[in-house]
Structure formats: C-alpha cells, structure tokens
Amino acid sequence: MYVVFEREAREFHSFHTFMFQSFHTFMFQSFHTFMFRLCHLKCKKYHSYRKSLKNQRLNTHSNVTKTQLALRAQTQVPTTMNVPMKKFFCGPESFTPDLSPVVGESKELRNYFVCAGLNSIGILSGGGLGRIMAYWMSTGYPDVDVTGFNADRFHKHQSNPRYRQDRVEEMLGHVYKCHYPTWTPKTCRGAKRSVIHDRLKAQGAQFKDVSGWESPAWFGSELKLHSFGKESNFQSWQEEHEAVRNNVGLVDMSFMSKFKVTGKDAGQFLNYISTNDVNPSEEDGVITYTQFLNHMGTLEADLTVTKLRENFFMVVATDTMHNHVETWMKRRAEDMNMDVNIVDSTGSLSQINIQGPNSRKLMEKLTSEDMSNESFPFRAAREFDIEFARCTYQYCTRIILHLHTLHTHRSMLSYHVLG
C-alpha cells in the first residue's frame, strides 16, 4: 500500500508517464507504445504475451531500451538522475477499447463473472467494483447502472488481435488526457459502414465510432479544437437541428441492434418479458415502445418491439445493448422452454430515420403507398416499396425504414434527402 502525494501526467510522442512519491521512494510509471509493439514482435500470439511479460524485469538484452526509457523519464525530474535506480520492471497492463472496465456476467457462460480491464486505475476503482461484484454474484443482479462497463457490451470484431493491438496502443495514451465528450478514437476505423456511407461522406459528413460503425457526427469541416463548450462545428449542428425540426432530414441509424423474433410462442414470449402489450391479439403491423425488466423490477433494456404479423416480430435496441438484449431474450426463452427463434439481423438490415414535419411529403414522392395520417396512423408498421426496394416502414414520432442491405437500395431515398 502506498500513499500518493503528487501525480503529474505528461506526454511526448509515443511515451506516456506519470510519477508519484511512495514513502521514501520516487516512482515513475510509463506506458510506452514501442514496448507494446516490441512484445508483439517477440510474441507472435496473444496467449504467449501474458506468459512472457508477467511482471518480469527487463532482461539483459533490453539494456538499450531500459536506458532510453529511464533517461526520458528522469529528464522530467532532473534531480533523480543523481540517485541510483532501485528497480526496473516491465509488465503488462490491461486496457479496453473504450477505457471502461469489463465487469459482470459473461454472455457466453452463465454464472461466470468477470472483473478485469481496469485501465491502470485498479487500486482506485477496486473497492467499488468489488462491492458491485459481490452484490451481483450473490443476488443475480447489479444494484447500480452497469451499462457503461458491462462485460457484454463488446462486439465480436473487438476481440480480433489486430483490433486489440491498434486500439490499445491509442487508448493507453488517452488515460490521463482530458476526456472531451466529442472525442472519438482514430484507430480501427471503418470496420462497419452503412449502405449510404458514401453518400453521407460526399455531403461532408464527419464520422465518429459508434460500436464499430461509422456514424455521422456532423456535416462540415473537421473539428479544430475539442472543448466542453461550443466547438467550431456548432453552427453545423444548429443548421442540421433546425432543418430537421422545421423541414425534413435523413438520419442514418444503421448501428441500432435489430433482431427478428419468430416461432409459435414468439408473441406470448415477448409479451411476457415486456412491460407493454407488444402482441395485440387482433392487430398486426404495430410498433410498441417498451422495456425489459428483471424479477426485481429494474431495467434490463429500453427498446421497441414491432409486430409485423402473427408470431413475427422485430426487436430494435441501442447499439450498446446489442449483446445484452440478445442474451437476455435467449436465456429467458430457454428458461421458459418457449418455441422461439431469435436471429441477429443488425448487419443485414439498414435503419434510416426520416424525421421532421415534412417527412410524409418526402415519402409520398418515393412510394406508391398512401402516406396520409389516416392510412398510416401513429405506431403503424408495414412493408412497402421505394422504387425497386422493399422496406419495413414504421411511424412513431418519426418514420423508420428498415432496408435490406443491398446496393440497389441506395439511390432514390438518398437522392431526394441528400440532394
């Protein structure tokens, strides 16, 4: 146990260090991307990385690297160059793609709990996370909101070796930086793109990383400087807001999690796990905003359920709840012994929102369907045509189009909205 009297974070090039006094010892701790790359060259596979660098001192073959690191650290506090170095360790630390810990029950195996990826603040956060884990494991549910650090939030591509290597190299240098709300990672980009990505880019879209998807953040020039106040892109935000509020706009929401739920028990099953009636007995083609709750009455998911026809439903949730919603439904169906088939359709369906007071007028130009309020009332959902494409059309407070991800479906809709 040590007492930290002073900490200062500094950065230059790929070298990141912080320093503190521990009783009568002055300690440097550094995150060096060169060492990260070096260990990958020496350890061809990730499973050998842990064995080769588990809290070991640098060996004699690393004397040059050792000297370079020591000198660069000591130049920050020149007086330390006059005292001998007591120990020099090189060991791995766990960092995550979003700098939040990995906590909770594994989606792959029931009752297998994880508390890892503490991003160099394990001592600081260990007490709180330990309490959360103890309550969660003993009761089956957390007593705090764990959405931001739940172990099931990550997507499959984020476990790829190349993804972990490139993203961790960036994130370890971001730990002690100022975390601005509009900042987005620069590495591992372009993993997922919607079918209208090129049209949005041509209109000047500046993209951000949303669970691996390239999602437009604003339209206009690149951001000059991050801030907690108004940034240089504020006028672009304002213009877009006013256009959608007063006229009509297209919003690419393809990153939303989409699941097809079918089977002879699908309606009964979804009605049981939802707070609202999502399976009206005499009505097809209806969208319902609802929640999934656990037996303690606390929230597990916030989403919409669309009944397209008897025992054929579409469940749409946010990108951050993708695995959680899928796992929750599958485990409840297994526990209830229900005849239900749950298919992840996120990658095969695009979601495009047409929003604003003139959304109906726009859609009238694109489809043969009657778009009047009498024909398409609030919460209506049905399949209809846009040129050569078939879409699932839903009307709540906005028009939502679910398009099968085919290149032929790009043209007319994006032409009329994006110009």
Q: What is the pLDDT of residues 52-90, one digit of tens each?
A: 554 444 444 455 556 666 676 677 777 777 777 767 666
CA atoms within 13 A on the CB side of 188: 24
Amino acid occupying residue 215? S
Q: Which two tokens stand for residue 44?
A: 């061809």
With residue 360 as reference, give the H or E element that holds it: helix 359-364
CA distances from 225 to 203, 221, 230 (A): 22, 12, 10
Give the position of tokens 């998807």. 213
Q: Who contacts 23 (Cβ-Cβ below 8 Å, separation ≥6)?
A: 2, 3
Q: Who contacts 265 (Cβ-Cβ below 8 Å, separation ≥6)?
A: 311, 338, 339, 340
Nearest to 252 by CA among 204, 206, 196: 196
Q: Who contacts 120 (Cβ-Cβ below 8 Å, separation ≥6)?
A: 31, 93, 95, 172, 175
Alpha helices in 176-299 (DSSP H): 197-202, 234-246, 266-273
Q: Which two tokens stand for residue 217?
A: 């953040």
CA distance 358 to 383: 21
Give the position of tokens 């040059």. 64
Which residues in the chain come in under a pLDDT of 70? 1-20, 22, 29-70, 72-73, 86, 88-92, 393-419
Q: Who contacts 400 (Cβ-Cβ below 8 Å, separation ≥6)?
A: 253, 351, 352, 353, 354, 393, 394
CA atoms within 13 A on the CB side of 334: 7
Count of other CB atoms within 10 angstroms of residue 59: 9
What pLDDT sits at residue 173?
78
Q: What is the dihedral of CA 170, 173, 1, 82, to 10 degrees?
A: 130
Count of other CB atoms within 10 angstroms of residue 116: 12
CB 232 within 8 A of CB 223: yes
Which residues does residue 403 pair with via DSSP β-bridges, in sequence order?
A: 350, 391
What pLDDT sits at residue 38?
45
What pLDDT sits at residue 396?
56
Amino acid occupying residue 366? L
pLDDT digits (tens, 9 = 90+) for 245-280: 999 999 999 999 999 999 999 999 999 999 999 999
Cα 239 off chain centre by: 27
CA distance 345 to 326: 11
pLDDT digits (tens, 9 = 90+) for 205-248: 999 999 999 999 999 999 989 999 999 999 999 999 999 999 99
Three-class HEC string of 235-250: HHHHHHHHHHHHCCEE
What pLDDT sits at residue 25?
75
CA distance 362 to 352: 14
SS3 209: strand
CA atoms within 13 A on the CB side of 370: 6
What pLDDT sits at residue 60?
41
CA distances from 88 to 1, 31, 35, 117, 374 (A): 19, 14, 14, 23, 75
CA distance 98 to 65: 29
